[in-house]
């Protein structure tokens, strides 16, 4: 396993983590009264757009899943449209799952959907960038010992951390503390964000420490 590839992964992940920090600071310069808690829906939109855009740019620059086969322009357009459809479907599915787990069905629909978009950005968008719109490959990667590269291993870790963070973030909501951050879906979205950032940092470190034990099969 090349150390250079691990450093590339670490640099990319640190950039993603830094972009999240900046989404909590930079918009306050341009938007009066902007805060993560006070204008949470605005922050959800800003964070989703910034993280999503950066992930796409990093994928285009680093090309972690570059295929030896060259695609035609029509194939690239078709792949892009499929990715857009998959991302939208992911948002709908996450929205439905969140409602099934207890989120308001009719009230706070906007809040729930924007949280679903954020969660899709942390999970599905990364899968689309690295694996493409191929469900069979997704199943392979998220099965036991299914990763075939350090990027796929990192994808496993960040995805799981994001979902676990969102799940743990729901625990304080029913508690009678009457805190501003207990308003739906602040604690869940912050939990998902902290989980995602933790995954970004943990993934390259875990891969580095276990690089001698990790043997990836060739594609």
* 28 occurs within a structural domain: yes
Task: Assess if residue 212 is contained within a domain.
Answer: yes
pLDDT in tens, 46-87: 999 999 999 999 998 987 765 556 677 788 899 999 999 999
**The tokens 């740019």 sit on which residue?**
57
Cα separation of 61 and 8, whole Å? Answer: 11
In this structure, is residue 101 part of a structural domain?
yes
171 is a domain residue: yes
191 in Cβ contact with 166 (< 8 Å): yes
Q: Which residues of the chain have pLDDT under 70?
A: 1, 65-70, 215-219
19 DSSP assignment? H
- Count up the domains in the chain and report the number: 1
The pLDDT of residue 20: 97
Q: How far apart are CA 9 and CA 29, in angstroms?
A: 31
| Residue 158 structural domain | 1-61+72-218
Tokens of 196: 């995602």
CA neighbor of 84 nearest in space, from 55, 134, 125: 125
Torsion sign across C-alpha atoms 45, 37, 181, 193: positive
Residue 30 placed within a domain? yes
CA–CA separation, 214 and 1 (whole Å): 8
pLDDT digits (tens, 9 = 90+) for 188-205: 999 999 999 999 999 999
Q: Give the span between the Cα atoms of 104 and 97, in whole angstroms.
A: 12
In a domain, 66, yes or no: no
Cβ(180)–Cβ(217) below 8 Å: no
Cα–Cα distance measured from residue 153 to residue 57, given in angstroms and rounded to the nearest whole number: 20
Residue at 202 is within a domain:
yes
Residue 15 included in any domain = yes
């Amino acid at each position: 396993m090349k150390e250079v590839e691990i450093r590339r992964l670490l640099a990319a992940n640190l950039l993603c983590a830094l972009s999240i920090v900046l989404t909590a600071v930079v918009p306050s310069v341009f938007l009066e009264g902007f805060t993560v808690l006070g204008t949470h829906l605005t922050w959800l939109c800003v964070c989703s757009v910034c993280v999503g855009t950066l992930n796409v740019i990093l994928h285009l620059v680093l090309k972690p899943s570059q295929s030896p086969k060259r695609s035609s322009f029509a194939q690239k357009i078709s792949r892009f449209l499929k990715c857009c459809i998959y991302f939208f479907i992911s948002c709908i599915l996450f929205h439905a799952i969140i409602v099934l787990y207890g989120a308001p069905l009719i009230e706070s629909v906007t809040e729930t959907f924007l949280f679903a978009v954020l969660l899709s950005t942390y999970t599905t968008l990364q899968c689309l960038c690295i694996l493409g719109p191929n469900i069979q490959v997704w199943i392979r990667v998220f099965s036991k010992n299914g990763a075939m590269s350090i990027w796929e291993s990192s994808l496993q870790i960040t995805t799981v951390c994001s979902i676990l963070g969102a799940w743990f973030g729901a625990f304080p909501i029913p508690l009678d503390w009457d805190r501003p951050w207990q308003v739906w879906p602040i604690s869940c979205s912050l939990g998902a964000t902290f989980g995602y950032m933790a995954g970004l940092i943990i993934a390259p470190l875990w891969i580095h420490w276990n690089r001698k034990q990790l043997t990836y099969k060739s594609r």
